[in-house]
Amino acid sequence: MTSNVEICAPSTSLAANEKQTEQQHSFPTKPSNFNYLAVGREEEKLKWLVLQHVKPSTFKTIFEPMMSNKKPNRRDELTCVQACMLLKSIQEFPDKLEPACYGLINLLNSETMHLYSLDKIITKIITTAVEEKIISLLLACQLLVTSIDFRMERRLNPEKIKFVRKSIEQMDYKNLRDLVKLLLVEKLDKMDYLLDEYQHQQLEPIEELVIDLVDRQKNFSPALFFINEVSKIDTDHSSIHFLPRVSLKIREMVASFRPLAEIGCMLGRSWMWPVPASPIFSWNSPTWGVWKLDDRQCKLHFKTHLPYNSENSSPQTYFQYILFKQPHGQDNLNHILRSSPQMQSLKLQCDEVIQILILEAMSAMEDCEQPVLAPINQYNWLHLSHLVTYALLMGHCTLYQLLHMLLPPLQSCQYLHAKEELMWILLQYISNAKSIEKQLASGSSTASVLGLPSSAGFDTENRELVLQIFNVLYTDNSMNWGNSCSTEQPLEMVRFFAPAAIWSHLVTSISAAPGSEQIPQPQPPEKLRKLIDFIENQLRDNKDQKQLERNTALLAVVANSYSNNHDVFVEHVNNTVFPELSKVGQQRNQTISPTIQQEKWTLPCGRKTEPFLRALELTFLDSLTFHAKRQLYNYALNRVFKLILPPLGHQQQQPSSPIFRLPSPALVESIARLLLSTELCDQDGANFFYHALLTLKPVQNESQNMFLARNDFLALLLELLNFRLQNIGFGWKWDFGNRITFILKIIDQLLHNKNIEQSPMPCIIQMAQLLEQTLLRFAQCTFPNDLIIASAVVLTKTYIVKFSPEICRILLLKAIRAFKLLGDVYKPSPGNLSTDVQPIQTTDEKTLMDMIPQLGWQWPRFELQWFPTNLQQVLHKQMAKNEEELTAKHSQKLLELEQASAQEMQNLVHLNIEYFMQPRPSSQPPTLFISIFRCLYQSQFTNFQFPQPQNPPPSSTPNFFALCYKILGALANRELHQLTNALIDWLASKCEWLGQDSAPTQGHDEYDLPHILKILNDMLFSHQFLSVDRLLLSVAIHPTDDQSNKTLLCMLAALLESKFSQLPERLHACYTFAPSHSQTTSSNSEEFFMQMVEYYKKYPEYSLAELYRRSLNPQAQQQQQEIVHNLPVYYGHLAERICPIVDILLQKAISMDLKPAVMDTLLCHFSPIYRIHRKFIFKILSLISSYILELSVLEKS
């Protein structure tokens, strides 16, 4: 009976349990033997529940065979339901829920029995909890991954990997990053090194999961979210490298992400590409030091997002590759290494990178459908040629090492299409290297130039390597000298003859060496002999330079082959090129009539030159090595210097009839194109700045003729610099030290040269305007970092701030905007934060921002938006303190201008010459332009006539206009600026209603706007009392309050729309013939110079002295024998002169709340000027920054 009772008891219990299980599924009741919903210790209850589930018992042993595998395991389901009820009770307490879950996982480590069953039920509990939305999907995946035994002592449950894979598509980037971190850093990176084959097979599902997660093709998440986690992997001892597929996939992900990360780390702005084109590109700035390379270890010094790579222990090959691959990549070479205080900065060797770039370019040509000379391919080769040549010249790459590294790959790979390009690159360097050798002492070794061992010479080691490379590239089967190139294509022909040109330079160096007569001359390879003989035959047949003159391709071949042979180069190249540019002879151009060809060409403003207008073609210049270009450039610049500035005695012998000669437009434009074609033509601008500084240097006891000739030469250089060479003259190409020295000399010339300040000669005022144009271009085109340094240097000179506030104001505003554009943070000194700002003398040690409050200048509100917040507070307090005083001073100033101009007007209309010839006190307001304006305004009325002098005037007495021109012609440049500033102040007060968007009040009806605009147009164009660029500069810089600025901009827009105005017509006439910036070197120079002269004939611009002569009566005009000496004008026209001023005007207009109609008018007439803008992208960035800044201010308000 006992036995039967024991047998029946479980049956009764089983029936009860089944019934209880059905009830548990609907959660209606609680189990009788344990209260699972009791409060407290849920983590321990959960562990007990799971352990009880896996612990064996007699009941489970008996009925286990009865459990069908096809039906759900109700006992597992019951346990999952009970566990979920426990977890749900603490769901609102994350600090309890997560530890309870991880407590379950820890059972797998603490228990030793029934681990497989325990792992299985824990997995089911976790997946059921996710389905019931008790725990998050990320937590479930983390729990499942954490529960895996990466020692592989416990068999892997495949359900875990299936669940994680299914969940990946539902997770966001952040969750995926956390999952990758758990798998890679916390698990795989710590797994056991010693795994047998079976354990490796068990690990394959995990390996496949990781590969899919980091695969860029699957694109589960951007590499940006994984890159930090990958970088945490131990590079030397990580176990991940025992999984080859995972390690390879990680490397592929890093490689695909690296270019973006490198550029992003370097610039902080990944969209600014390439580096030299970025506004923050300035190696002079200390901000670049944070990522320069250490000169010993070649390591980056900033914390980067990049993972480990070989660059951290070897030279930065990939880093250099990314940097040099960009346009103008050679400009980074001299500045990558961090300067060392203990020793001179080492040279960064980049032989490996140069080799990679060359082989990469040659390989690309093999499968390219376009020919090598196609523009799309030549762009890459031109960049590579510049980079390689510059690296070799600067010592960053040695020819000996480069040839040694190139030879094995070239022997193993037969390149057929780009071999001429490689020989062209070698020719570029070898021709210049031989030139440097000739300049060195005869006893010095060539190792300093060519980077060779001390025992080796170019004639032995390098010559053999070049010949080996030549023989590898030019096999007998791949050569066909007869049909390989066309004499009509210079680019193709010079590359075809590049090996022969290299041999010519090698032979020249051997024949010039000491004792060369005893050394047998090396014989060229048989393959080259035909080419060398062909070149020599051309020289023999070139009698009277007719042979080479007819074929520019042959001329380029000769120039490249003999650029180191002075006699041959002068006889056959210079004597062929320059007679067509600067000497009376047969002009290549056939469109100019023979009559004009034999006469002098008249430049704008009346100066005569030789009638040659067509400059050297860009195709011909591209066919020359940079050494041949340098020879042409130096010869051309010296030729111009000797032409304009002959020996002093020549002009002293003929003082009564001085000869002022000028170069032809073709020669001047050719100099510009030579400089623009390569930065190596005049490295750092040394030759150009030398001649410029030489003419700026004052000369004692100088004759007037020599002074005028020096002005002509300086004007020529300034025209080139301002209107053709801005990017290299003010950019990063030429040395910053030379540039800032040049600018300080120009400022000194403007302020301290007595001739410029006091001489009435018209060329002096023109020279002052050219010098000011140079300063404007410097502020417009200089890189922001360099501009900040230059502004600080200029503003420390107290005399500059005093005598040239307009220029200083422009430099200061540009520097402040540069700070804003670069994101620099200004921290003012403690003294500047006080309420009462005391004037402290500025010193070189004080920062640029600390100087601003000490200047005492008033700033418009819209300009203060650019200033740093702390400095704005200082200036607002300073302006608020002096606001009443400044308002009173301004009103008093306007009253004085009104009264002084009324008195001066009476003397002006009565032609009182004695009044204007008297010395004027410094306290008298500059009202001459106001007086002239009022006289012209009154003359519009029919009942007004200019009063006549009381006594009958003699015939030589000037009339009203002649008197005005005579007075203005006697004034200095600074006085003309003061008169212009006073005029716009007066006009702003008369048209104040215009800036208030309202009709004129009763007090402003004395001067109506249409008549004001008509008189202003007459002063600018009909009578030319005032120049357009001088007026626009004053409108852009002089007003110091918002109301005046708004009024003047509205008036400018009204002038552009006025039917009386000639300004739009002249501007659009300039737009029709001025070439765009991208086409300056390839445009038709002849057409440009002819249209330039036609423009000045239609819209003449006279000096004040010429206007004075024209305004006299015929008898007096015939008595004027003085010849007006104007400066030469080659490029400067109205649109070019106002280009930097338009930048300021448009930036001001965007910063102000102007009517849409006013903005439309300004943009309609001024926007085409950006077609000739040399720094267009910089200005667009500045304008965008200005617009965004304005929007942010409006949002705050």
Output the pTM of the full model. Answer: 0.74
Residue 253 domain flag: no
Residue 414 domain flag: yes
Structure-block tokens of residue 80: 């999952």
Contact 946, 897 (CB under 8 A): no
Residue where a domain stops, chosen among 547, 577, 607: 577
Residue 1006 domain flag: no
Alpha carbons 993 and 1009: distance in angstroms, whole number: 10
What single-letter DSSP state applies at residue 1021?
I
- What is the reported pLDDT for 7? 30
Alpha carbons within 13 angstroms on the beta-carbon side of residue 6 total 6
Q: Measured on CA atoms in the order 1141, 1144, 1147, 1151, is the torsion positive or negative?
A: negative
Alpha carbons within 13 angstroms on the beta-carbon side of residue 523 total 3
Amino acid identity at 842:
T
Residue the block writes with tokens 């729990």: 143
Alpha carbons 300 and 338: distance in angstroms, whole number: 10
Residue 609: strand pairing partners = 601
- CA-nearest of 461, 473, 397 to 428 is 397
The SS3 assignment for 196 reads coil
Residue 612 domain flag: no
What single-letter DSSP state applies at residue 111?
-
Contact 191, 226 (CB under 8 A): no
**Residue numbers of the chain with a pLDDT score lower than 50:** 1-39, 70, 260-273, 287, 290-291, 297, 299-315, 342-343, 441-457, 482-483, 584-597, 648-657, 758, 824-846, 950, 952-953, 955, 1116, 1118-1121, 1193-1194, 1197
What single-letter DSSP state applies at residue 294?
P
Residue where a domain stops, chosen among 562, 577, 592: 577
Residue 65 domain flag: yes
- What is the reported pLDDT for 338? 52
Contact 745, 718 (CB under 8 A): no
The SS3 assignment for 825 reads coil
Q: How many CB atoms lie within 10 A of CB 455?
A: 9
Please, is 598 exposed, middle or buried when counting C-beta atoms within 10 Å of its C-beta (0-12, 13-18, 19+)? exposed
Alpha carbons 261 and 224: distance in angstroms, whole number: 9
Residue 271 domain flag: no
- What is the reported pLDDT for 1142? 92
- What is the reported pLDDT for 69? 54
The SS3 assignment for 224 reads helix
Residues in the chain: 1197
Per DSSP, helices labelled H in 413-497 are 419-439, 447-450, 463-473, 490-496
- What is the reported pLDDT for 1176? 61
Alpha carbons 1070 and 604: distance in angstroms, whole number: 14
**Domain span at 231:** 11-236
Omega of the bond prior to 286 within 30 degrees of 0, cis? no
Alpha carbons 436 and 563: distance in angstroms, whole number: 12
**SS (HEC) of 366-402:** HCCCCCCCCHHHHHHHHHHHHHHHHHHHCCCCCHHHH
Helix, strand, coil: what percent of the chain each, to 5? Answer: 65, 0, 35
Please, is 379 exposed, middle or buried when counting C-beta atoms within 10 Å of its C-beta (0-12, 13-18, 19+)? exposed
Contact 977, 1038 (CB under 8 A): no
Q: For residue range 677-695, what is the model confidence (pLDDT) as tens digits?
A: 887 788 778 888 888 888 8
Contact 152, 202 (CB under 8 A): yes
Residue where a domain stops, chosen among 554, 577, 600: 577
Task: Give every CB contact of residue 1119 below 8 A, 6+ residues apart in sequence.
Answer: 956
Split into its structural domains, the chain has a count of 2
Structure-block tokens of residue 1104: 């004040």
Residue 982 domain flag: no
Per DSSP, helices labelled H in 736-804 are 736-752, 754-758, 762-781, 784-795, 798-803
Residue the block writes with tokens 């376009």: 370
- What is the reported pLDDT for 1184? 57
- CA-nearest of 118, 127, 179, 181 to 149 is 118
- CA-nearest of 832, 837, 900 to 870 is 832
Residue 55 domain flag: yes
- What is the reported pLDDT for 840? 30
Alpha carbons 1167 and 1164: distance in angstroms, whole number: 6
Query: Dihedral of the CA atoms 473, 474, 475, 478 (nearest 10)?
Result: 110
